[in-house]
């Protein structure tokens, strides 16, 4: 923390969207924190984006609405934005800039961490191999989340991604160990009702005491969203690598975050890239996503579940497209399933957890886990093909095996995929349900499962 | 001689056949009922166990929720109490800082603040603001530095409401360097709060361990 006094500048040259340009700058550095004082003495925070030729471009987090060229003062604080961290952050609710939002005082800091974090040294990264149970069958059974993984949820407007996110936050746990588990939840540009839902749902389930919430609402200034994932991940890193906890960081909705990046980019008159997003969109996303992982020699882990709504359900949109390059798989929500009333409407055929193979199996979950996951994927894929065929030739034109696949597909959706919003299924129950579905198929169709597992778990129909 | 008629014998035979048939049916029905009762017992037992198991789980969840939220609310109350104590300590410190000008090193501190303001702003014509108590000292120091360094600092005619220290503004009013005690407190507040809390918690622990002993 800087101990020298700060210089205050009063010469505002220009106000441009979320940016103000200060003139006559003698001392300022890139990313330095700036306190803006308006003519009515209210204070806002900002940071330096560019400095040179006696000018500094400052991005105002709380927006520039109400600021005037005369009467506005900018105090350069000589430090970058830092988040006060301590174990007492657990159970607290903050706004998008990391200020208390629960009526309690500022946290007593054990230390102050730069919100930009530091990229993890790739040499010190440890490969993620341990299972996190979410209590959601489709995720645990087929798209297993592994400690230290980054697994985004691709959704669309109006779909229940936030309900799923809250369910994961309530139910997620590390099974079979006494290690501490925590959830850092960053709501970025969400509606007030959604923010209240997250808060209430964690409070009522008793999960709030192991959670830290950052709530940036839809009516908060868009620029604030630039900081929300950063403060959340800073806290996640502290809890993981200083406190040795296994942290699940849920960031919803990253599309809102990228929209504010676009706003700044447009105000800075940068050359636009795909769909008007800045050319450094990939780098910026990677800066956030790569803060997940495990570090050799340290106990904790940061697992990330960023949620992004795809504009017009377009998976080729730059945000999901570039996210897919960085993350280790994706969970895609399907509108067809949503319309059919299936919750969670996960389209498993478009989803994948790249690290699942390393986090499941003997000694981690159950020896048949990976095989049943693959077989279920295969069976549902075949069921979809048969459904398409049945549309043309009708059920009467299908073979006996095809009809079995049709039944398996229906049972997959109604018995395995579908679950209540507050239903927490254990892994054993999830795997038992996979066998319920697979047992509707003839034994000979289960080609991806070892014979010993088929003998042990296949349920003969009476 | 009593001899039954063939009709009576046939009737008796049919009756005895029916009787043994009925008895065996009753017997098998009785056995079946016993079997049903047995299986119902085990079914009932397993259902009973499931209900008890679910109830235990629910009770465990509820217990966790209640204990968790009570712990959280106790912790939150503790945070509020600590913050109240921190505020009281700050108030006391502010009162004590009002007599800071009586300290022997205060003049040195003020001179250093004036020199820093020249250095930080990078201009020589500055307007210096201070509180009423320090105005005499500031005028003296400003004159001294102007003579020594050839600068054009002037002490402002009006005083400002600060605990101590100075506020320097460039003559065109575009730059301000705030080195008042108030701004120093504000700047270092998070660190000071941490130290106060450590002291408070240390004394809490001591008093607790004394109670235990």
In chain A, what are the domain boundaries?
Answer: 7-80, 83-359, 369-457
Phi first, then psi: give them for residue A26, nearest 5 degrees.
-105, -35
Q: Residue B27 falls within a domain, yes or no?
A: no
Contact across the interface for A91 and B72, Cβ inside 8 Å: yes
Instruction: Please report the ipTM that was assigned to this predicted complex.
Output: 0.74
* H or E element that contains B185: helix B181-212
> H-helix or E-strand containing B49?
helix B6-97
Average pLDDT, chain B: 86
Asked if residue B189 is part of any domain, the answer here is no
**Separation of alpha carbons A19 and A9, rounded Å:** 15
Please determine, for residue B211, whether its predicted confidence score (pLDDT) is greater than 60.
no
Contact A206 B65 (CB under 8 A): yes
- Distance from the Cα of B84 to chain A's closest Cα (Å) equals 9
Tell me which residues of chain A have a C-beta less than 8 Å from any C-beta of chain B: 1-11, 23-24, 26-27, 73, 75, 84, 88, 91, 102, 104-106, 108-110, 112, 203-209
Reduced to 3 states, what is the DSSP secondary structure of residue A363?
coil
The C-alpha atoms of residue A165 and residue A193 are separated, in whole angstroms, by: 15
**In angstroms, what separates the C-alpha of B9 from chain A's closest C-alpha?**
51
Can you say whether residue A24 is alpha, beta or left, with left for phi > 0 and alpha for psi between -120 and 50 degrees?
left
Residue B74 lies inside a defined structural domain of this protein: no
Its CATH class, for the domain covering A7-80, is mainly beta
Q: Does residue B131 belong to any structural domain of this protein? A: yes
pLDDT band at B64 (very low <50, low <70, confident <90, very high): confident
Q: Does B10 fall in a domain? A: no
Which residues of chain B neighbour A208 with C-beta distances below 8 Å? Answer: 68-69, 72
The count of structural domains within chain B is 1
pLDDT in the model for residue A186: 94
Which of A151, A148, A113 lies closest to A242, judged by CA? A113
The 10s digit of each residue's pLDDT in A330-355 is 999 999 999 999 999 999 999 999 99
pLDDT grade, residue B204 (50/70/90)? low
Could you tell me which of A205, A246, A166 has the C-alpha nearest to residue B68? A205
Name the nearest CA neighbour of B128 among B103, B108, B145: B145
For tokens 């990253």, the residue is A254
Question: Cβ contact (<8 Å) for A105 and B79?
Answer: yes
* Percentage of chain A exceeding pLDDT 90: 57
Chain A's closest residue to B168, CA to CA, is: A7
Q: What is the pLDDT of residue A240?
A: 94
| Contact residues, chain A, for B174 at CB < 8 Å | 9-11, 23-24
Between CA B198 and CA A334 the distance in angstroms is 52
Residue B15 counted as domain residue: no
B187/A105 CB distance under 8 A: no
Domain carrying residue B169: 105-180
Name the residue in chain B with its Cα closest to that of A107.
B79
Nearest by CB to A206, which of B64, B86, B175?
A: B64
Residue among A9, A112, A208 minimizing CB distance to B72: A208
The nearest alpha carbon in chain A to B81 belongs to A105
Query: Residue B137 is part of a domain; what is its CATH number?
Result: 3.30.2320.30
In a domain, B197, yes or no: no
Q: Is A167 helix (H, G, I), strand (E, B) or coil?
A: helix
Q: In whole angstroms, give the CA distance from residue A295 to residue A302.
A: 10
Contact: B187, A1; criterion CB under 8 Å: yes
CB atoms closer than 10 angstroms to residue B193? 22
The topology (CATH level 3) of A83-359 is Rossmann fold (3.40.50)
Low-confidence residues of chain A, pLDDT below 70?
1-4, 461-462
Q: What is the pLDDT of residue B2?
A: 52
Predicted pLDDT at B207: 47
Give pLDDT, residue A40.
Answer: 85
């Amino acid at each position: 923390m800087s101990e020298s006094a700060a210089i205050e500048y009063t010469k505002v040259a220009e106000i441009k969207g979320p940016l103000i340009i200060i003139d006559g700058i003698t001392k300022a550095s890139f990313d330095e924190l700036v306190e803006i004082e308006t003519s009515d003495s209210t204070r806002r925070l900002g940071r330096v984006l560019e400095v040179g030729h006696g000018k500094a471009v400052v991005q105002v987090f709380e927006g520039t609405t109400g600021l005037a060229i005369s009467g506005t003062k900018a105090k350069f604080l000589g430090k970058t934005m830092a988040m006060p961290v301590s174990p007492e952050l657990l159970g607290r609710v903050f706004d998008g800039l990391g200020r208390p939002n629960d009526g309690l005082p500022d946290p007593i800091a054990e230390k102050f961490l730069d919100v930009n974090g530091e990229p993890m040294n790739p040499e010190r990264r440890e490969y993620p191999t341990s299972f996190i149970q979410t209590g959601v069958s489709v995720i645990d059974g087929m798209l297993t989340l592994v400690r230290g993984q980054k697994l985004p949820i691709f959704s669309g407007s109006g779909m229940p991604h936030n309900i799923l996110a809250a369910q994961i936050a309530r139910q997620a746990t590390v099974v079979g160990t006494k290690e501490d588990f925590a959830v850092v939840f960053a709501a970025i540009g969400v509606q007030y009702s959604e923010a209240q839902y997250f808060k209430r749902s964690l409070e009522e389930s008793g999960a709030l005491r192991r959670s830290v919430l950052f709530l940036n609402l839809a009516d908060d200034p868009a620029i604030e969203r630039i900081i929300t994932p950063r403060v959340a991940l800073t806290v996640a890193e502290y809890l993981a690598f200083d406190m040795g906890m296994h942290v699940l960081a849920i960031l919803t909705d990253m599309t809102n975050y990228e929209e504010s990046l676009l706003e700044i980019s447009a105000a800075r008159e940068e050359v636009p890239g795909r769909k008007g997003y800045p050319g450094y969109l990939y780098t910026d996303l990677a800066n956030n996503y790569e803060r997940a992982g495990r570090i050799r020699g340290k106990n904790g882990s940061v697992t990330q579940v960023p949620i992004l709504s795809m504009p017009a359900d377009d998976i080729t949109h730059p945000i999901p497209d570039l996210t897919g390059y960085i993350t280790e798989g994706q969970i895609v929500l399907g509108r067809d399933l949503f319309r059919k009333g299936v919750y969670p409407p996960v389209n498993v055929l478009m989803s994948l957890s790249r690290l699942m193979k390393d986090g499941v199996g003997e000694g981690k979950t159950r020896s048949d886990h990976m095989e049943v996951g693959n077989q279920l994927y295969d069976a549902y894929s075949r069921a979809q093909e048969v459904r398409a065929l049945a549309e043309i030739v009708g059920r009467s034109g299908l073979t006996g095996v095809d009809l079995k696949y049709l039944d398996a597909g229906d049972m997959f959706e109604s018995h395995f995929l579908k679950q209540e919003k507050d239903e927490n299924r254990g892994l054993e129950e999830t795997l038992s349900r996979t066998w319920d579905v697979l047992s509707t198929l003839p034994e000979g169709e289960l080609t991806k499962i070892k014979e010993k597992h088929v003998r042990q778990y296949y349920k003969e129909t009476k | 001689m009593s001899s039954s008629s063939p009709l009576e014998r046939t009737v008796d035979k049919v009756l005895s056949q029916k009787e043994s048939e009925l008895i065996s049916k009753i017997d098998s029905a009785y056995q079946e009922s016993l079997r049903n009762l047995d299986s119902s017992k085990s079914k009932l037992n397993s259902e009973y166990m499931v209900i008890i198991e679910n109830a235990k789980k629910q009770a465990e969840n509820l217990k966790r929720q209640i204990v968790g939220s009570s712990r959280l609310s106790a912790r939150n109350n503790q945070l509020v109490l600590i913050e109240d104590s921190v505020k009281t300590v700050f108030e006391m410190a502010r009162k004590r800082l009002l007599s800071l000008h009586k300290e022997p090193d205060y003049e040195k501190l003020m001179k250093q603040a004036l020199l820093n303001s020249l250095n930080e702003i990078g201009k020589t014509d500055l307007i210096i603001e201070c509180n009423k108590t320090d105005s005499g000292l500031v005028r003296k120091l400003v004159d001294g530095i102007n003579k020594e360094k050839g600068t054009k600092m002037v002490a402002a005619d009006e005083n400002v409401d600060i605990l101590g220290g100075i506020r320097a503004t460039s003559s065109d009013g575009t730059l301000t360097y705030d080195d008042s005690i108030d701004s120093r407190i504000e700047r270092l507040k998070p660190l000071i709060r941490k130290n106060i809390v450590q002291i408070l918690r240390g004394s809490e622990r001591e008093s607790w361990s004394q109670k235990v002993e």
